[in-house]
Amino acid sequence: MTKPRVLFRVEGNDQVGHGHFMRCLTMARYLKDALTCEFAMSAPSDLAKQQLIEFGLKLHNTPWKEQFHPDDKRSTADWKFDLQGLLTTDDLLIVDGYRFDDSFVHASHQIGAKVIQVLDAFDSPVHGDGVITQLPLNTQEASQLSSVPVWSGLNGFMIRPEFYDGNDTEIPKEFDIFTYITSQINLNFIKGEFQAGGKKICALASPDLATQCQALGWTTMVSPSLQVLISAMRRSYTGFLPASTIAIEYFVATRRKPYVMALADNQKWGMQKFIHAGMWIGLQQPKTNREDGTNHKTILDNPQSQFVNWIHARI
- What's the pLDDT tens digit per position in 35-52? 999 999 999 999 899 999
Domains along the chain with CATH numbers: 5-158+302-314 (3.40.50.11190), 162-297 (3.40.50.2000)
Q: Which is more confident, 184 or 93?
A: 93
Q: Is the pLDDT of residue 287 over 50?
A: no
- Confidence class of residue 290 from pLDDT cuts 50, 70 and 90? very low
Q: Is the pLDDT of residue 195 over 70?
A: no
- What's the pLDDT tens digit per position in 202-228? 998 778 889 999 988 899 999 899 999
Q: Is the pLDDT of residue 175 over 80?
A: yes
* For residues 150-155, average pLDDT: 92
Q: Which is more confident, 87 or 167?
A: 87
* For residues 279-300, average pLDDT: 64
Q: Is the pLDDT of residue 286 over 80?
A: no
Distance (Å, rounded) from C-alpha 33 to C-alpha 109?
26
Q: Is the pLDDT of residue 96 over 90?
A: yes
Lowest mean pLDDT among 10-19, 88-97, 234-243, 279-288: 279-288
- What's the pLDDT tens digit per position in 55-93? 999 999 999 888 887 778 888 888 999 999 999 999 999
The pTM of the full predicted model, rounded to 2 decimals, is 0.88
Lowest mean pLDDT among 24-33, 65-74, 164-173, 200-209: 65-74
Round the average pLDDT of the chain to a whole number and report it: 88
- Confidence class of residue 289 from pLDDT cuts 50, 70 and 90? very low
* For residues 183-200, average pLDDT: 75
Secondary structure (DSSP) of the chain: -PPPEEEEEE--BTTTBSHHHHHHHHHHHHHTTTSEEEEEESS--HHHHHHHHHTT-EEEEPPP-----TTSGGGGSPBPP--TTT--TT-EEEEESSSB-THHHHHHHHHT-EEEEE-S---S---SSEEE-SS---HHHHHHH-SS-EE-TTT---S-GGGGTTTTS-----EEEEEEE-SHHHHHHHHHH--SS--EEEEESSGGGHHHHHHTT-EEEES--HHHHHHHHHTEEEEEEESSHHHHHHHHHHSSPPEEE-SSGGGHHHHHHHHHTTS-EESSS----------HHHHHS--HHHHHHHHHHH-
Could you tell me what percent of the chain has a pLDDT over 90?
59
Task: Give the pLDDT score at 252.
Answer: 95
